[in-house]
Amino acid sequence: MEHQGAAGQGPEWGPEGAERYPAPGSGQGRRRTQADRDAITVEIGYALFSGVFAAALVFGAVAGPAFFFALPEWAERALPLAGGTLAAAVFVLRITHVLWRFGRRGPDRAGSDGTAADG
């Protein structure tokens, strides 16, 4: 039994199991160019770098006092734990934010208006 496409427009798969692509000009299913793939690679690298940087800042701000000041023992244990937890959350949120914005914007329009890639 063949799986039907959207609104009964026929099967999603061709006769030999090859995926059928949307009609030309529909804006869906176009092949990515090398420039598109390069833009995605750069954006992933930027997301990782900025995520690590933001996480390091958060960790330093929260856990730093435990390393530089004489604090009660509970604080010396709690601050690095809280800093690590917050840093991990900031890392994930930053990467998600950068890549989500890039995905909505698309690789062919990234930075074309002369603005920075992240705002």
Lowest mean pLDDT among 2-6, 15-19, 43-47: 15-19
Q: Is 51 among the domain residues?
A: yes
Domain annotation covers residue 6: no
Domain that holds residue 57: 33-110
Contacts of 61 (CB under 8 A, 6+ apart): 83
Predicted local confidence at residue 57, as pLDDT: 98
Residue 12 inside a domain? The answer is no
25 part of a folded domain: no
pLDDT band at 55 (very low <50, low <70, confident <90, very high): very high
Residue keyed to tokens 């062919």: 108
Phi first, then psi, for residue 16 (nearest 5°) are -105, 20
Beta bridge partners of 103: none
| Residue 13 lies inside a defined structural domain of this protein | no
Does 5 map to a domain? Answer: no
69-118 residue pLDDT tens: 999 999 999 999 999 999 999 999 999 999 999 888 766 555 554 445 54
Answer whether 48's CB lies under 8 Å from 95's CB: yes
What's the whole-number mean pLDDT along residues 39-68?
95
Query: Using one digit for the tens of pLDDT, what is the confidence trace for 13-39?
Result: 444 444 444 555 555 667 878 888 899
Give the CA-trace dihedral at 21, 104, 33, 36, to 10 degrees.
-160
Contact between 94 and 51 (Cβ < 8 Å): yes
Quote the pTM value.
Answer: 0.63
**What pLDDT, on the 0 to 100 scale, is given for residue 104?**
83
Give the pLDDT confidence score for residue 24 in this predicted structure.
52
Q: How many structural domains comprise the chain? A: 1
The alpha carbon of residue 43 and the mean position of all alpha carbons in its chain are separated, in whole angstroms, by 8
pLDDT at 61: 96
10 assigned to some structural domain: no
Q: Report the largest interatomic distance among the alpha carbons of the chain, rounded to a whole angstrom.
A: 72
